């Protein structure tokens, strides 16, 4: 479950947000002590921060910049309508999105979803067509069956997935796999690709990985 940190001093709004987020399937956390905001947020390992620009003790934009120095955590700024330059500034300071108060709850949820989705590309669980790809467990599943990928197969698949639709050179894949530390027969890659393809075929996914001779591979 995704964890969202609410940084907002109005107790009423805070509670409303908390309820709404919990109701929408997130785990809402409210920042208590604004004086140690940066530290608390960094330490809390949340998936997203909802940050009001008007908070006591520390200015919202300052906090934004200070978080950005240390972390890439997605941040949505909450700005007040009467100050449009806030929005412009926030974005250029590294916010992922902003929303003006008072906001429509549906839109807020939508934006949270969009930002998380964008950020989630660095995550453990991704999907490919009808497959769930769980990197941590090293398993592919289509709801019915599960199939294990070996370490190398998963490395390759993830790399292709992160570059889906683009040609990925064999060199890049080899660097990703073996980091050029040791010399490895470049056919080892071919064999691993071949094994990955065989597993995808077991799910009925064929020709997902195309060969572009002389250029690399491309995941369709």
Partner DNA sequence: AGTTTTTTGTTAAATTTTTTTAAGATAGTG
Partner DNA sequence: CACTATCTTAAAAAAATTTAACAAAAAACT
User: Of 33 and 182, which has the nearer Cβ to DNA?
Assistant: 182
CB of 143 to DNA, least distance (A): 22
- Considering the rule CB under 7 A, would residue 157 count as an interface residue with DNA? no
Residue with token string 């995808």: 200
Choosing from 83, 175, 215, 220, the residue that interacts with DNA (CB under 7 A) is: 215
Choosing from 184, 202, 207, 220, the residue that interacts with DNA (CB under 7 A) is: 184
The site partner of 185 among DNA, a copy of itself, none (C-beta below 5 to 8 Å per kind) is DNA
CB of 186 to DNA, least distance (A): 7
- Considering the rule CB under 7 A, would residue 57 count as an interface residue with DNA? no
Question: Is cis: bond before 153, omega within 30 of 0?
Answer: no
Which residues touch 210 (CB under 8 Å, ≥6 apart)? 217, 218, 219, 220
User: Of 34 and 103, which has the nearer Cβ to a copy of itself?
Assistant: 103
Listed ranges 7-15, 38-46, 107-115, 189-197: which one lies at the site for DNA (CB under 7 A): 189-197
Q: For DNA, how many residues bind (rule: CB under 7 A)? A: 27
Number of other CB atoms surrounding residue 204 within 10 Å: 9
Could you give the C-alpha distances from 63 to 34, 66, 68, 120, in angstroms and in order? 10, 5, 8, 23
Tokens, residue 164: 């889906």
The site partner of 218 among a copy of itself, DNA, none (C-beta below 5 to 8 Å per kind) is a copy of itself
User: Of 203 and 217, which has the nearer Cβ to DNA?
Assistant: 217
The site partner of 157 among DNA, a copy of itself, none (C-beta below 5 to 8 Å per kind) is none
The site partner of 122 among a copy of itself, DNA, none (C-beta below 5 to 8 Å per kind) is a copy of itself
User: How close are the terminal C-alpha atoms of the chain, in Å?
Assistant: 29
The site partner of 127 among DNA, a copy of itself, none (C-beta below 5 to 8 Å per kind) is none
Binding site for DNA (CB under 7 A): 148, 150-153, 170, 177-178, 183-185, 187-188, 190-195, 197, 211-217
């Amino acid at each position: 479950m995704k964890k969202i940190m609410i940084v907002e001093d109005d107790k009423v709004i805070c509670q409303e947000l908390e309820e709404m987020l919990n109701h929408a399937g997130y785990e809402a956390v409210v920042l208590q002590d604004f004086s140690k905001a940066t530290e608390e947020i960094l330490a809390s390992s949340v998936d997203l921060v909802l940050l009001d620009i008007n908070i006591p003790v520390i200015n919202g934009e300052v906090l934004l910049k200070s978080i950005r120095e240390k972390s890439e955590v997605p941040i949505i700024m909450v700005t007040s309508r009467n100050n449009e330059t806030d929005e412009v500034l926030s974005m250029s300071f590294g916010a992922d999105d902003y929303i003006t108060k008072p906001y429509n709850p549906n839109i807020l949820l939508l934006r949270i979803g969009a930002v998380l989705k964008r950020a989630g590309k660095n995550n453990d669980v991704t999907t490919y067509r009808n497959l769930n790809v769980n990197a941590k467990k090293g398993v592919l599943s289509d709801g019915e069956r599960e199939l294990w990928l070996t370490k190398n197969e998963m490395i390759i698949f993830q790399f292709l997935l992160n570059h889906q639709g683009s040609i990925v050179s064999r060199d890049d894949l080899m660097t990703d796999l073996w980091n050029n530390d040791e010399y490895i027969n470049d056919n080892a890659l071919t064999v691993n690709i071949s094994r990955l393809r065989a597993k995808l075929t077991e799910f009925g996914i064929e020709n997902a990985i195309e060969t572009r001779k002389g250029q690399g591979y491309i995941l369709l």
